[in-house]
């Protein structure tokens, strides 16, 4: 059974750096084609993709947030960490991590999601 | 990279069929067969319903189907059921990922 779980602070102050950890089980991030992505959803609004990291350490970022994001993985701990700098109240959202698989000629979508973690940005 | 365009809301009666559209560009939806659809119930995480335009993951009812024409992808739900009432998001994968603005489905 594949599971993912997000963890991190529930409250951060403006200008601070947010660090979120996605801890997963049931798959390996050293398997060819496998990746983990981060997605957020402000209250009452749409999903927004943030970043993803692949088994081979290939990293992709949302163009609009690229300067503020860093994604890393620790394969031995089955964890993916996302940091977002210079937090602002508009970054208040539920943050999800999700597993995905893709290759040269396939993309299976984000097939398993974590439950999400709510982050509020306020002084 | 702009968000994909979806209608804000659609509705249908139990047993009917509805279609949700998702419009992008030739650089995303039109250029690749990597369109996915997600269902999200209130307070829950999204669930993958369709990948690669028209493929259903194991466990997704065959009432859900996907298609694409040009720069517009579509999700069709036939035989609407009360449990289908949810928000639906399309997504396109290229070198990055973009979501649509979401569509609220109401089952009357």
pLDDT tens by residue, B65-80: 999 999 999 999 999 9
Query: For residues A121 and A10, what is the distance between their CA atoms, to the nearest angstrom?
Result: 9
Contacts of B46 in chain A (CB under 8 A): 39, 47, 96, 98, 110, 113
Query: Do the Cβ atoms of A32 and A45 come closer than 8 Å?
Result: no
pLDDT above 90 coverage of chain B, percent: 96
Q: What is the mean pLDDT of residues A49-64?
A: 97
Q: Tell me if B95 and A60 make a contact (CB, 8 A cut-off).
A: yes
Per-residue confidence at B2, pLDDT binned at 50, 70, 90?
A: confident
Please judge whether B97 and A113 are an interchain contact, meaning their C-beta atoms are less than 8 angstroms apart: no
Q: Which residue of A has its CA nearest to B87?
A: A46
Separation of alpha carbons A40 and B69, rounded Å:
29
Integer CA distances (angstroms), A45 to A9, A77, B92, in order: 21, 33, 18
Q: Is B87 helix (H, G, I), strand (E, B) or coil?
A: strand
pLDDT 10s digits, B21-30 = 999 999 999 9
């Amino acid at each position: 059974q594949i599971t993912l779980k997000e963890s991190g602070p529930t409250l951060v102050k403006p200008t601070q750096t947010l660090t979120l950890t996605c801890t997963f089980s049931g798959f390996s991030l050293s398997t060819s084609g496998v990746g983990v992505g981060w997605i957020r959803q402000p209250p009452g609004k749409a999903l927004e993709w943030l970043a993803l990291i692949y088994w081979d350490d290939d990293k992709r970022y949302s163009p609009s947030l690229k300067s503020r994001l860093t994604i890393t993985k620790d394969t031995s701990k089955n964890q993916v960490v996302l940091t977002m700098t210079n937090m602002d109240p508009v970054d208040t959202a539920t943050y999800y991590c999700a597993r995905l698989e893709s290759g040269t000629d396939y993309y299976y979508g984000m097939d398993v999601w974590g439950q999400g973690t709510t982050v509020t940005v306020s002084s | 990279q702009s968000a994909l365009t979806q209608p804000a809301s659609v509705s249908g009666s139990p047993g009917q069929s509805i279609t949700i559209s998702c419009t992008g560009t030739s650089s995303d939806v039109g250029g690749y067969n990597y369109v996915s659809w997600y269902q999200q119930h209130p307070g829950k995480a999204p669930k993958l319903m369709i990948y690669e335009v028209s493929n259903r993951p194991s466990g997704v009812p065959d009432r859900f189907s996907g298609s694409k024409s040009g720069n517009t992808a579509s999700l069709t739900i036939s035989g609407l059921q009360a449990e289908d009432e949810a928000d639906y998001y399309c997504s396109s994968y290229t070198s990055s990922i973009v979501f649509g603005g979401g569509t609220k489905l109401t089952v009357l």
